[in-house]
Amino acid sequence: MDIIIKEDGYNLIEILVVVGIMMAIIVIAGSMSSKFAARRSVDNMTRNISSTLQLAKLNSLRQGVEYRAVLASCGQLDNTDPDCPVCDTYNDYNLGDDTITITIERGDSNRGSANWCVASSQTRRVQQGMTLDLADIPETDPLRLNFNPNGSLVDETGAILAQQIDIGVEPTTDAKIKRCGGITVTPIGRIAIVEGNWDGTNCKPIGDN
Q: 117 - beta bridge partners?
A: 106
Sorted by sequence, the CB contacts under 8 Å of residue 67 that are 6+ apart come out as: 56, 57, 59, 60, 104, 105, 106, 107, 119, 146, 147
Q: What is the pLDDT of residue 9?
A: 55
Query: What's the rounded mean pLDDT across residues 11-33?
Result: 63
* Single pTM value for the model: 0.78
In this prediction, residue 98 carries a pLDDT of: 86
User: Hey, which bits of the chain come out as E strands?
Assistant: 67-70, 72-78, 86-92, 99-107, 116-125, 130-133, 144-147, 153-154, 165-171, 179-185, 191-198, 203-205
pLDDT of residue 141: 84
What average pLDDT does range 192-204 have in this prediction? 88
Averaged pLDDT, 84-95: 91
- pLDDT (0 to 100) of residue 17: 67
Lowest-confidence region among 16-20, 69-73, 172-176: 16-20
Q: How many Cβ atoms are within 10 Å of 151's Cβ, its own excluded?
A: 14
Do 187 and 161 touch, CB atoms closer than 8 A? Answer: yes
Closest CA to 105 of 134, 73, 133: 73
* Residues 154 and 121: beta-carbon distance below 8 Å: no
- Distance, CA of 65 to CA of 16 (rounded, Å): 71
**pLDDT for 161 beyond 70:** yes
Using the 8-state DSSP alphabet, how is residue 94 labeled? -
pLDDT at 3 over 80: no
- Which domains are seen in the chain, by residue range? 38-205 (3.55.40.10)
Per residue in 33-45, pLDDT (tens digit) is 555 566 677 888 8
pLDDT class of 7 with cuts at 50, 70, 90: low
- pLDDT, tens only, 37-77: 666 778 888 899 999 999 999 999 999 999 999 999 999 99
For every residue of 184-203, DSSP letters joined together read EE-TT--EEEEEEEE-SSSE
CA distance 90 to 88: 7
Per-residue pLDDT reduced to its tens digit, 94-152: 888 888 999 999 999 999 999 999 999 989 888 888 889 988 888 888 889 999 999 99
- The percentage of the chain sitting over the pLDDT mark of 70, rounded to a whole number, equals 81
Q: Among residues 88, 69, 57, which one has the least CA distance to residue 189?
A: 57
What pLDDT is attached to residue 72? 92
